[in-house]
Amino acid sequence: MVRSEIPAPDASRPVTLAVDESARGSVALRRRLTDEGAEVFELITNGTFVMDTLETTTERLLARAALAHPPATGTWSVTVGGLGLGFTVRELLADPRITHVDVVELEPAVVAWVREGLVPDTAGVLDDPRVRAHVDDVRRWLPERPDASTDAILLDVDNGPDFLVHMANTEVYEPPFLAVVKRALRPGGVVAVWSATRSTSLRRRLERTFAGCEEVHRVVEREGRDLDYYLYVARRS
């Protein structure tokens, strides 16, 4: 993992703060300035924009969409597939009902950057005693969990089934893995999946697996453009 010296922000171009290379390619953390002079941090994978700190509405909504369904015990144990820049985890930790959060992130550099506080808005989220971070592939980690071991599973490992950064992540949205998700959930447990595009196929797969699925649509304004994002939420009966 390469850390760059941090020069003064330049509004004309992004500055790379850190970059890491793995068998999956490159992952980088960049910083830029808006026209108003505000700092924005960006996560870039293989040269493709993944997310930033300018607009985090739907990352936070992913947590709230699950927490809207009360757990049977009154408290929450949650599994998050995909740390990103940490905003979903931060939103979870704001809820006093949260007792435990397992965060499963494939890229060790991403975990290190958030843990080191390179993203100021989420500095400290991985230091919360309720959080355990796992550097692993959620496709391999979750099948090893006990049955009925978590109240909610939040999946934001890629851009959704129809706009993938890593083609191997197709498996996350397929029926065999969704069956694993269902098995790991406690009765009444919730799965919420983030998608950059509407996915009728994902909704139908969740409906078949869980006997129901809610599609949550949000229009987000990003630098003068309206973008459509989707969450797919299902509950184990």
Residue whose structure tokens are 């950057």: 113
Hey, is 73 helix, strand or coil? coil
The two three-digit tokens of residue 90, written as one number: 């931060």
- Tell me which of 20, 102, 156, 158 is the catalytic residue: 156
Per the CB < 8 A criterion, the answer to whether 101 and 94 are in contact is no
Is 20 known to be catalytic? Answer: no
Cβ-based neighbour number of residue 18 at 10 Å: 19
**Range 3-12 burial, b when 16+ CB lie within 10 A, else e:** beeeeebeee
How far is residue 77's CA from residue 56's CA, in Å, rounded to a whole number? 23
Q: Which residues of 67-103 are buried (b: 16+ CB within 10 A; e: fewer)?
A: beeebeeeebbbbbbbbbbbbbbbbbbeeeebeebbb
Which amino acids are annotated catalytic?
156
